[in-house]
């Protein structure tokens, strides 16, 4: 999906959830739309927003990131203690998993969910959330000899 369309979808999601559409939120969406196939450090988002809006508080930036994540506009993860986000890659099927290239950082969606496999191993348990990621070297990096 092209960036402009993704921003339109995100704005509709924000409006549906009763969030005001501000120039700061639009700027953040525009920046984040460049990260559909890889995660970006939250500190980089904060730095970018401060370059455009020097008076914008860190709390406001982080609150917006949290709100975007809560309504499904972005995906968030923590790796090695560092919070990272990326634009939601599938607004229709928000529950999905990823393969993440350890060389270039490219993220690819994985359609299959392994939850049934684990539920069978845990009879009587109730699983209320899960997160599944595969790591390795993507086909492009292998082809270019980056492994």
Q: Does domain 1-87 have CATH number 3.40.50.920?
A: no
Give span(s): CATH 1.10.10.10, the chain.
Answer: 1-87
pLDDT, one tens digit per residue, over 41-95 is: 999 999 999 999 999 999 999 999 999 998 989 988 887 788 888 887 555 555 6
Give span(s): CATH 3.30.1490.190, the chain.
Answer: 97-145
> What class, spelled out in words, does domain 97-145 have in CATH?
alpha beta
Q: Is 84 annotated as a binding residue?
A: no
Q: Is 138 annotated as a binding residue?
A: yes
Residue partners of 99: CB distance under 8 A and separation at least 6: 107, 108, 110, 133, 134, 135, 136, 138
Q: Is 130 annotated as a binding residue?
A: yes
The span from the CA of 104 to the CA of 140, in Å, is 9
Cβ atoms of 107 and 39 closer than 8 Å: yes
pLDDT, one tens digit per residue, over 81-120 is: 888 888 875 555 556 677 878 888 788 777 776 777 777 8
């Amino acid at each position: 999906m092209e960036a402009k369309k993704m921003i339109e979808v995100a704005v509709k999601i924000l409006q549906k959830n009763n969030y005001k559409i501000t120039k700061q939120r639009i700027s953040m969406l525009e920046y984040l739309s460049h990260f559909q196939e890889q995660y970006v450090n939250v500190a980089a988002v904060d730095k970018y927003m401060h370059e455009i809006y020097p008076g914008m508080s860190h709390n406001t930036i982080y609150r917006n990131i949290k709100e975007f994540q809560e309504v499904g506009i972005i995906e968030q993860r923590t790796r090695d203690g560092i919070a990272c986000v990326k634009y939601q890659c599938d607004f229709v099927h928000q529950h999905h998993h990823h393969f993440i290239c350890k060389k270039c950082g490219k993220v690819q969606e994985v359609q299959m969910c392994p939850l049934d496999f684990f539920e069978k191993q845990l009879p009587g348990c109730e699983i209320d959330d899960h997160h599944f990621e595969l790591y390795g070297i993507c086909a492009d990096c292998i082809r270019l000899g980056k492994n």
